[in-house]
Structure 1
């Protein structure tokens, strides 16, 4: 179960001297400035072909006025996977450019393999684990991940449901010249009695009270409709929570209540886990808005859907770009409870933020960084909410587990201070880490973040004389037991700016070190204690 848990821009056909811009970013002053720099002073910094064009995707202006403008790349109109760049400037002066594409060569864009054959080949490679519910699609792309020269490829997309009920949106990269499978990843990011009624169209903002499964009594943002109250939050972009009624298809139906008092704290009431999910997602919304100035997942003020009671005995939760929604299962009925814990909700919603910013590809080291980002922000949401029912900590998903009697310590999905406690996640980086499941390779970045925030300090209840018997030496990979933390407030700002301002689709662990050091420089200065702490924390997990 742990191996799977938690998991249209309009392009103008412009010449090289005129970078294409997407949608409402066209009039953004930072984008206009970045365009000028990209086609002027920054030209020599960008590894580009004369037929490359760039499409503005996102803008971040940090608290010190540094502008970070993210662009997607195309080559002769074809999307370049792994070709994204970020232009960093201040006062219209170029500072640097972040990019992972090194090669200047571009492939022949006339395919020798038929697109339909590629679809069949991709489907055959996926095997019988998947039940596809939609016809597969394919688009021609340039695949530019890793150190090899960019290749012409087909990105084949299969959508459906896995045998374990997890939704899937598989993307398979097939070489358009020799038919080889180059890569694959899922765009559904996993962590893990009848309808109430239709969703209200124009609810009036209200405040309800819920009795949650894990958190006890909490306050809820709800909507008042003609037929009663619903779990729709007009104050947070209209985000809403639906009841899947154990189905696996569709968006679910709205919960309706007459008195705006929800759940009873147990699974005997179908509203109870909806309370946890609704509160968790609203807490995550508040975290990103109040801590990072981000208005919702896409920074556009629009809320997302949360689906509860998904499937039967489904011990998982996930984020899906396709439906812009989070999905929560009810657990397996024995060892795993409903997947609606606060940090799990924060984890899944944070996948959406990553998707709308760095868009870290969900395989290899970038996939591990994607997962870690969700763990990091899930933990920070838990600390900010600081509820009595879920004591803040660096454990992920601990409340959904029934205690394992074979373990002398609390069972959790992940242990950020000592990832290897799960028996699968490495504490330290190694050159082959990109070959393991992204839920385990994430451990190195989780470990880094804990050390950055807290230092080489054993959490309460995990030291000598406890079941874990951890010492400071157990928390570092290089023997630096004097490592000091900078606190969560500075650490979370550094990681957020690194994600939104410096990481790109194919960022690896060494690239993450560079990204966080750059973020620390922008926020605190290159001579600051925070900068030194970032460098020391990465060294403590063997990322140099």
Structure 2
């Protein structure tokens, strides 16, 4: 259950998400009046709710799923045009799921000039008269050239070197690296993808993917493709098995689950070994001395995982296509691990220390096979925060499978790997209620989380799921004592594992993409909760509370909430349109908006739209009040400055490491010189702002430096600069001059204005 931690080409990842969701990161306003109808006992008891039937995914037969995939494939070109993709881009259907209300969610991979785009995946949601999308990257997909400067042979050599430095054994690349476009972080780049085989340091097979820039030869990214993680079994006890009679011999082939087969590798490390067979259909004796015992646990683990996904979500196999994976027991010698491989579409289990401590417990099986479900759906990249979410997803569904199977020999719990005793001291591998109990995992999110091993960065997501299921504080579940803390010191009310698992599954299969990070997972699960239980329902609020409890996003207060509104600056005579966003947790309650202190010429509508044309220079305090039908009220105050300003909102693209570009503003009919405190507001969309120089050029040609490659790896410029331009006439043409001085990241001037 281990996996190599990949590295990045820069000191940070740039993950752009375009989730179609309710605005879930709203800050709360100051509340007065009557409290709303949010759960009165948040932090106590449990919130029990029934999911909306229309939002449930309907089970698809292989034929129905194939028909949906074929239909989406036929419409892929039209869909690409609707999404505004470029002429060189094409969509390739990966999967289709459908809700009971007819809403269809189609997951696509993308190509550019015929090359796979890594990090270009997206989901298109069609239903209820509209089409929206969730994208792994919002970057414009373009590369300067499709012919590489670095040869495939050079990329292969560098990939092999990277693998050996990472501790790989017998490293080799089968075939030639493939040409791809890398789009998961930073600027899209032409690249080579090399897959290095061999073995990892602990004997696990290796499928190390190394992404090499095809122009510079630098390593852009790497990740590991092998995911670690009646009969009587050692851990599951006496359980029913699906077997097949062939002549007079029974085979461990499960005809009820698409013919899943269980093999004995006989301590080998390749192939399938020997199919388990028996003469009387009574398998194993519960001890590792009987080779069938491991086969019983392995076969039952596969069956229980298949049944869980089918019974709870209507999912027909790991890929939802009715095709069974297969399982291999007795891998290697003294191999203390188990792993899932997409390449063989199979699960493999080692026998542990001394070949007497097999890693075949139910939660291990469910964990590893759930890596396959993640791969078939969101495809969370096994690196950084998305890698932690990938690992946590397997832990989450491992717990859920245990609760679904409800075995007397393996009582359901929120511990990971507690039965296999891999450390030899009776302790689990991980604790979901307080992950730091293992000595390394994190309980809460912080900005460094993406830089640690994914098995430890999974901690906060595991903690979130436990809190959402059971709530905070001390309690005993199925005889196991838990005591789960919260980052903000406030209690969390659980909603039960049944509903928590539904929310996570819908978020994973419908809204997450390959680059989803913790903030994106919060957005995805809140959208899933809104779909299943209603926006701002008690269940929805519990999701918000559980995320806040691990330091991801704010809690949503009961009653009326108003989104934070920035201080405003407008020009005299310029048209204004500002929508105040607010919501109430009181179900079915309408909102009424009012405002005081608005500049002359502006008014607010009953729906919260401030519009009009300011007529008078000055600065005023504006107070917006929003009230719902129950009398719950919130206020938000901000300043509104009206000035004589001159701006340009025409987009100007900034070439990569190219010539400077300019955006002009002309001032007419103004006497005298500019102010000693001339204000220049600049909004530039550009990853890695440290690439940029930004200057103001006066009417007489004098240059004022606003930004000189400062800000490092941060994205975008969105700020106001103040310069002494008193030696320049106000009237004339002013220019914003921007130049990108370092290759790879690109962007554009969105708008700027001048108050001279």
Quick check: TM above 0.5? Answer: yes
The match for 2:81 among 39, 44, 62 is 39
- Measured after TM superposition, the shift of residue 281 of structure 1 is 0.8
Q: 1:397 is matched with which residue?
A: 417
1:30 & 1:152 partners in 2: Cα distance? 28
- Measured after TM superposition, the shift of residue 461 of structure 1 is 8.2
**Larger strand fraction of residues:** 2
- Measured after TM superposition, the shift of residue 74 of structure 1 is 1.1
- Measured after TM superposition, the shift of residue 462 of structure 1 is 12
The match for 1:56 among 77, 86, 93 is 93
Q: 1:425 is matched with which residue?
A: 441
- Measured after TM superposition, the shift of residue 75 of structure 1 is 1.1
Query: Residue 270 in 1 paired to residue 312 in 2?
Result: no
- Measured after TM superposition, the shift of residue 136 of structure 1 is 4.5
Q: 1:154 is matched with which residue?
A: 192
Q: 1:367 is matched with which residue?
A: 387
- After superposition, the Cα gap between the structure-2 partners of 1:459 and 1:241, relative to the gap in structure 1 and judged at 3 Å, is farther
Q: 1:352 is matched with which residue?
A: 372
The match for 1:413 among 417, 425, 429 is 429
1:528 & 1:383 partners in 2: Cα distance? 26
- Measured after TM superposition, the shift of residue 64 of structure 1 is 4.2
What is the correspondence of 1:478-493 to structure 2 with a 5 Å cutoff? 478-481=488-491, 483-493=492-502
- After superposition, the Cα gap between the structure-2 partners of 1:306 and 1:360, relative to the gap in structure 1 and judged at 3 Å, is same
- Measured after TM superposition, the shift of residue 160 of structure 1 is 2.1
Q: 1:107 is matched with which residue?
A: 143
Contact 1:427–1:541 (CA<8 Å) still a contact in 2? yes
Q: 2:120 is matched with which residue?
A: 83
Q: Deviations over 1:431-469 (max 9, x none)?
A: 111111111111111111111111114342899xx9x9x
- Measured after TM superposition, the shift of residue 215 of structure 1 is 1.9
Q: Deviations over 1:59-87 (max 9, x none)?
A: 12234443211111111111111111111
1:325 & 1:119 partners in 2: Cα distance? 27
What is the correspondence of 1:1-400 to structure 2 with a 5 Å cutoff? 24=66, 28=70, 39-40=81-82, 43=83, 48-94=85-131, 96-108=132-144, 109-127=146-164, 129-132=168-171, 135-146=174-185, 148-191=186-229, 209-333=230-354, 337-400=357-420
**Larger helix fraction of residues:** 1
1:27 & 1:99 partners in 2: Cα distance? 19
Query: Residue 528 in 1 paired to residue 537 in 2?
Result: yes
- Measured after TM superposition, the shift of residue 366 of structure 1 is 1.1
Q: 2:487 is matched with which residue?
A: 477
Contact 2:475–2:483 (CA<8 Å) still a contact in 1? no
Contact 1:71–1:84 (CA<8 Å) still a contact in 2? yes
1:113 & 1:515 partners in 2: Cα distance? 39
Dislocated runs of 4+, deviation >6 Å: 1-5, 30-35
Query: Residue 542 in 1 paired to residue 551 in 2?
Result: yes
Gaps of 5+ in 1: 6-22, 192-208
- Measured after TM superposition, the shift of residue 231 of structure 1 is 0.7
- Measured after TM superposition, the shift of residue 480 of structure 1 is 1.4
Contact 1:241–1:277 (CA<8 Å) still a contact in 2? yes
SS of residue in 1 equivalent to 2:474: coil
- After superposition, the Cα gap between the structure-2 partners of 1:213 and 1:526, relative to the gap in structure 1 and judged at 3 Å, is same
Contact 1:211–1:272 (CA<8 Å) still a contact in 2? yes
Contact 2:434–2:483 (CA<8 Å) still a contact in 1? no
- Measured after TM superposition, the shift of residue 162 of structure 1 is 2.6
1:279 & 1:295 partners in 2: Cα distance? 17
- Measured after TM superposition, the shift of residue 403 of structure 1 is 7.5
Contact 1:415–1:421 (CA<8 Å) still a contact in 2? yes
Contact 1:503–1:515 (CA<8 Å) still a contact in 2? yes
1:344 & 1:140 partners in 2: Cα distance? 36
Contact 2:226–2:339 (CA<8 Å) still a contact in 1? yes
2:66 & 2:79 partners in 1: Cα distance? 20
Contact 1:38–1:87 (CA<8 Å) still a contact in 2? no
SS of residue in 1 equivalent to 2:125: strand
Gaps of 5+ in 2: 6-64, 554-756
- Measured after TM superposition, the shift of residue 305 of structure 1 is 0.9
Contact 1:137–1:157 (CA<8 Å) still a contact in 2? no
2:381 & 2:326 partners in 1: Cα distance? 23
SS of residue in 1 equivalent to 2:353: coil
1:63 & 1:338 partners in 2: Cα distance? 42
2:313 & 2:141 partners in 1: Cα distance? 39
- Measured after TM superposition, the shift of residue 398 of structure 1 is 0.5
Contact 1:297–1:349 (CA<8 Å) still a contact in 2? yes
Identify the range of structure 1 (28-37 vs 493-502) with the bigger mean alpha-carbon deviation.
28-37
Contact 2:367–2:395 (CA<8 Å) still a contact in 1? yes
- After superposition, the Cα gap between the structure-2 partners of 1:526 and 1:118, relative to the gap in structure 1 and judged at 3 Å, is same
**What's the TM-score, normalizing by structure 1?**
0.85
Larger Rg belongs to = 2
- Measured after TM superposition, the shift of residue 248 of structure 1 is 0.7
Contact 1:119–1:136 (CA<8 Å) still a contact in 2? no
1:76 & 1:83 partners in 2: Cα distance? 13
- Measured after TM superposition, the shift of residue 356 of structure 1 is 0.9
What is the correspondence of 1:434-449 to structure 2 with a 5 Å cutoff? 434-449=450-465
Contact 2:69–2:96 (CA<8 Å) still a contact in 1? no
**What's the TM-score, normalizing by structure 2?**
0.62
SS of residue in 2 equivalent to 1:98: strand
- After superposition, the Cα gap between the structure-2 partners of 1:211 and 1:435, relative to the gap in structure 1 and judged at 3 Å, is same
2:532 & 2:104 partners in 1: Cα distance? 12
2:437 & 2:296 partners in 1: Cα distance? 31
SS of residue in 2 equivalent to 1:535: helix
